[in-house]
Amino acid sequence: MVPSETTASKTARRSFLTGAVGVAAALAGCSGSESHSSPPEDGTIVTDHVTATTRSTGDRPPIVAPREDAGGNTDDGSTAEPITLHTVESEDGAEAFEFAEDATNVAAARRLLAETDYDSESVFVFQTRIGECYRLKLNYVTRGDDGDPNIQFCRVIRDAHTACEREASDHTAALVRLPFPADGYDGLSAGSGGSCDPIPDRYNGSDSS
């Protein structure tokens, strides 16, 4: 798997990523910086996580609020852009989520947000475009020795009975509940690739859950 990569600049509580070609500009949640990256060389596998995915067709992504402005701040303004990378660290943050009318699996996404214990857990949100014939899948989650999580996504072919066009694309979003609070890490990174590669050997036998 060859993930897209870009470098995040971090402020005290917020950071904004300027995307490279093929990588949308991404907002970091209030807990720290986020970036598209390869998995760290050290750390452990995290298995105690929960994921929900949602999808929409047309021009609107499944998650329409909160949104991010040009400075990387989240708000609900109509001129701001939909989130691409985001960390949910509180019940107030979870309640700010709104979904497009045609978004799928919304009940599961809302349930994941509502049932998260933000004193000991947090939710990472990744939203992107994907080919109509594919679906986004969480490949694995790691946590570096510095405590920062890394989430790796991949894509798989949708069920054979699903009608799709090879050149068309949809929007998709994944919500991943992590078994540690947002103030338990200073940064967070995510990568996505075309194939669901095996977990690297350096993580085999390790488990931080």
pLDDT tens digits, residue range 46-80?
Answer: 999 999 999 999 889 999 998 765 455 555 445 45
Q: What is the DSSP string of 86-149?
A: EEE-SHHHHHT-EE-TT-SSHHHHHHHHHH--TTT-EEEEEEEEEETTEEEEEEEEEE-TTS-E
**99-123 confidence digits (pLDDT tens):** 999 999 999 999 999 999 999 999 9
Listed by start position, the domains of the chain span 24-196
Percent of the chain at pLDDT above 70?
73
Give 40's pLDDT tier (boundaries 50, 70, 90). Answer: confident
Q: Is the pLDDT of residue 183 over 70?
A: yes
Enter the DSSP assignment of 24. Answer: -
The answer, yes or no, to whether residue 7 has pLDDT greater than 70, is no
